Structure 1
Amino acid sequence: MKPMYTCASIAILNTLQRAAPDRLEPMLRGSISSNGKLHCRLGTQYLRTQPIRNSSTLLCDAILSDDNFLQHATQNHQLVVTGENDMPTQVSKGRKSPRLDLASTHEEADILIIQQAIHLAKEDPESHVRVVCDDTDVFALLAYYYLSEKLQSSLTMQSPIMGRSCIDVKETARKYSAIVPELLALHALTGCDSVAATYGIGKTKAIAMARKGYTLDQLGKPLANIVEVTEQATAFMGACYGITTPTSSMTKIRQKLWAQQTGKSTAAPKLCSLPPTTEAFEQNVRRAHHQVAHWYSALSGDPPTNAAVEHGWEADDTNKCLIPRNMEDGVTYAPEHILKLVRCGCTSERACRGGKCGCMGRQLPCTMFCTCGGGTACSNPFNITESATDHADIPDDSDEANDRAMNVDDEDDE
């Protein structure tokens, strides 16, 4: 009988624990990644374990510190736990040892799942590897690496929700072998866990463009020039919107679509149906480029050295996280004469911090025409730097300023 390997999530184990605490399957071989993904080889016996906590770190520590459980569960099985350390810990017959061959400094759980699933498939070509997961990123990675690594073992992906279909990754990679080599790039550009999707442009349309010959072979390549990457991505996304005329500007594509849609109807088209501007699209391409570069290095021990803050992300030191950058510093959200048409009347100590601010509510920066003055005391997160727009030639109380500013009569923050 072929051995069966399964990847399941902690949520599934929690459900099993509540439903049948005396019949929780032990692990013949497995690993727990940093966000709680558990890889295990199914056994034929059932053991009882302690209740599983939500924190993956606490879970890993709890498993590795439970000597009685490990001694009993690993007599005939191997358990590999991947926690915060770069090197997973293997437990066999109660004895713990490091797994040097599985050491990795990658932090993404999706990548850790792929590393160990592909490792199992390579180690035992006669095995059947089953991944219990609903994540589309994981599916794209499985299909890509199944083909690129020329695997032969059976590999399937099954949803943790009962009643949903089971995907045959082996058959998928074989059937779509023409586009699988660029699957990671087109998946990232059209929306993944770390890259925003574009309204109306889904995977089906992206695959159709790939079949027509539009390529993204530069996206994610460490040595690729970001300008060439952006130009290639612009041509690809332009084709997805139906614009096949060569252009390096998403703003021009946006203008063409606006003209087409307004020419067919007197009603203004929905702004969400239009592509992003060039400045906003460039940041999304940088994020996709950064993500795909990590995916391409999934089977290596270390991720690429390119910094996230140089690829469409900003460091939030207060919350210790990364936030997506909308546009480069100094780029205005709208032309200057448009910004001067709207001004708020916020006068509180925390001016423009709440949603009642007319400028913030429209995702526009405050200016010197606003009651708050748009200076350092203003808390509007959409404010632009003084160097980005030149207001020095128009004093605050001039007739020209008053004529060009429209008071929106916004309510105060407080």
Structure 2
Amino acid sequence: MVSHWYTQAIGKPTEAKSFGDLADVFNASVFSHFNEHCSRVDVVFDRYRITSIKSGTRERREGRERSIRRKIDSREIPLPANWKLFMDLPENKANLTKLLSDQMMLEAKKSRPTCELITAGGFEEETKVASSQGSDVEQLQSSHEEADTRIILHAKAAYMDGYERIIVSCRDTGVLVLLTHFAGQLSGEVWMRTGTRQKRRYVAVHDIQLTPTMQRNILVYHAVTGCDTISQPSGHGKKTTWKVFQQHGALLDDLGRGTLSESTIRSVEEFFCRIYSPASDETNINDVQYCMFQNGTKDQEKLPPSRKCLEQHIKRAHHQAQVWFQADVPILEIESPIGSGWYEDSTRRLHPHVSVDDPLPNEFTDIVCCKCKNCATSRCSCRAKSLKCIAACTCNNGVCHNPYSVAIETDSE
């Protein structure tokens, strides 16, 4: 099973002069999987929609130069000089995947009559699927935008057709997460072929062992801690958040399932509190933000988001997880992403909706933090405003003569 990343991996071959040459190189790479142990290869592609939750990712990959629309209506069309600029435009990618899909089918029928090639996602019609042997592939007619989820659909169909071992060629972490979640539904061996030609690696997905809670919520975890469509918690990568997931994975139980409720949002908020403040029992992200600032964390990139910003993030993660949970069904039943953490601009492109709140609330920026050594004179900025020094002041590294203190009342006997 081959994902769309093959197109990116092949790029613009040095020996290829035309799109026909490129298609030949692509076909050779795909057909190299056919051997005495492999009689069927599925190739799936992304769909390139204008209104897509991947718009932000694609915009980040685009350069400043404007891409030019290139129509590919024959094999003889020469390859563009600037390949990256060509691939920056979704319409060009869609046109290219259609050419590759058509050329694969023609070549498979001609030179591989005893093997079966199935491809989907690359044709002009969204639900079109083709088999080189004319097999009934109606169950693979899907509305999936992502090749990642089409892989799960095709893997499930292959097992239903009697195949006991599936090898997925892909370098995407998201695909590994999807395979891990759905591995229990795929009776047999599931392998992920990744790495480079010089350093090939096979991951035995069927041998990955997770706790029941982690198995149930790994898709949600990947969505909420950062993926292709959603940003990661500022300053915290997968290595850090994975430790939190191991201990507090149950906090993500209801995300991506059903209607997003207030209780689910609060539960995920607590998960984020554990990311930013693992030693505390705090459940309010605004309070965690305040405490971190008060204790000296002034870099906004290292502070957690405000509650309102986090709510938009959670809405996006909920939507993305809903898409992934339906990877094994052909037609997705998903509400519009507009209003679920994204908004649509005048060109119909989607952008993450962020809160109108400032990243750091005004009451935080109004806090005075001095840079004194001992705060013994009126030159101390805290003293000048009749304020006590706090943990964010540099004087806390030495002896402060203007300390903040808390009076503790005790019951008299």
Q: Where on the TM-score scale, by shorter chain, does this alignment land: which range?
A: 0.5 to 0.7
Q: Where does structure 2 lack aligned partners over 5 or more consecutive residues?
A: 35-39, 49-74, 80-86, 367-413
In structure 2, relative to structure 1, the CA distance for the partners of 1:236 and 1:58 (3 Å cut) is same
Q: What is the DSSP-based 3-state SS (H/G/I as helix, E as strand, rest coil) of the residue aligned with 1:310?
A: coil
Q: What is the DSSP-based 3-state SS (H/G/I as helix, E as strand, rest coil) of the residue aligned with 2:8?
A: helix
Paired residues of 2:170 and 2:192 also in contact (CA < 8 A): no
RMSD: 3.5
Aligned residue among 327, 330, 333 for 1:304: 333
Paired residues of 1:125 and 1:153 also in contact (CA < 8 A): no
Task: Kindly indicate whether residue 354 of structure 2 is the aligned counterpart of residue 326 of structure 1.
Answer: yes
Q: Where does structure 1 lack aligned partners over 5 or more consecutive residues?
A: 37-49, 263-267, 341-414
Other-structure match for 1:411: none
C-alpha distance in structure 1 between counterparts of 2:190 and 2:259, whole Å: 34
Other-structure match for 2:137: 99
Paired residues of 2:217 and 2:249 also in contact (CA < 8 A): no
Paired residues of 1:89 and 1:98 also in contact (CA < 8 A): no
1:8-407 map, 5 Å = 9-14=6-11, 18=15, 24-25=28-29, 26=31, 28-34=40-46, 55-63=92-100, 65=102, 69-82=107-120, 83=122, 84-92=124-132, 99-127=137-165, 129-147=166-184, 149-160=185-196, 162-163=198-199, 165-172=201-208, 174=209, 179-215=214-250, 216-225=252-261, 227-243=262-278, 247-260=282-295, 262=296, 269-318=298-347, 320-327=348-355, 331=357
C-alpha distance in structure 1 between counterparts of 2:362 and 2:303, whole Å: 22
Amino acid in the other structure paired with 1:29 = V
What TM-score comes out, normalization by structure 2 length?
Answer: 0.65
In structure 2, relative to structure 1, the CA distance for the partners of 1:335 and 1:56 (3 Å cut) is closer
Spell out, residue by residue over 1:306-348, the C-alpha distance to the aligned partner (whole angstroms, 9 max, x if none). 2211211010122x210011116xx5667679999xxxxxxxx
Spell out, residue by residue over 1:29-70, the C-alpha distance to the aligned partner (whole angstroms, 9 max, x if none). 32331359xxxxxxxxxxxxx699764433444356558535
Spell out, residue by residue over 1:167-209, the C-alpha distance to the aligned partner (whole angstroms, 9 max, x if none). 221222x355551221111111111111111123222333322
Paired residues of 1:89 and 1:99 also in contact (CA < 8 A): yes
User: Which protein has greater RCO, CA pairs closer than 8 Å, 6+ apart?
Assistant: 2
Q: What is the DSSP-based 3-state SS (H/G/I as helix, E as strand, rest coil) of the residue aligned with 2:28?
A: coil
C-alpha distance in structure 1 between counterparts of 2:273 and 2:201, whole Å: 34
Amino acid in the other structure paired with 2:137 = R
Q: What is the DSSP-based 3-state SS (H/G/I as helix, E as strand, rest coil) of the residue aligned with 2:253?
A: coil
What TM-score comes out, normalization by structure 1 length?
Answer: 0.64
Spell out, residue by residue over 1:218-254, the C-alpha distance to the aligned partner (whole angstroms, 9 max, x if none). 11012341x1221011111111122565555311110
Higher helix share: 2
Spell out, residue by residue over 1:70-90, the C-alpha distance to the aligned partner (whole angstroms, 9 max, x if none). 531341222222124243332
Paired residues of 1:88 and 1:99 also in contact (CA < 8 A): no
Q: What is the DSSP-based 3-state SS (H/G/I as helix, E as strand, rest coil) of the residue aligned with 1:179?
A: helix
